[in-house]
Structure 1
């Protein structure tokens, strides 16, 4: 696997984790847990944004990785 595909796999995994956290926040009745899951999902989104920037950088540096 290339670095680009590894990073894209990482992004997909992070998005999956974020979706799970959002689902947990929606399904719990405990306000403290809801807040915790919401904050964790928000933090995960910030990480996704940063890693996606890295994907764009990789694709601009190595055009053959675009779309993989």
Structure 2
């Protein structure tokens, strides 16, 4: 498995985690838990943004990894 493939797979996992945290925040009855899930989701969104930038950089540097 190439580095680009690993980074893309990690990005897909991060997107799934972000969606799960969003769902947990929306469905929780406990206000404290909602805040924790929401804050964690924001942190994950930042990580997702960094990984998306890295994927774009990898694709720019190594055109064979596009797609």
TM-score normalised over the length of structure 2: 0.98
Aligned match of 1:24:
24
How many pairs does the alignment contain? Answer: 67
Gaps of 5+ in 1: none
Q: TM-score, normalised by structure 1?
A: 0.96
CA-based RMSD of the aligned residues comes to 0.4
Which stretches of structure 1, 4 residues or longer, exceed 2 Å deviation after superposition?
none
Which stretches in structure 2 are left out of the alignment for 5+ residues?
Answer: none
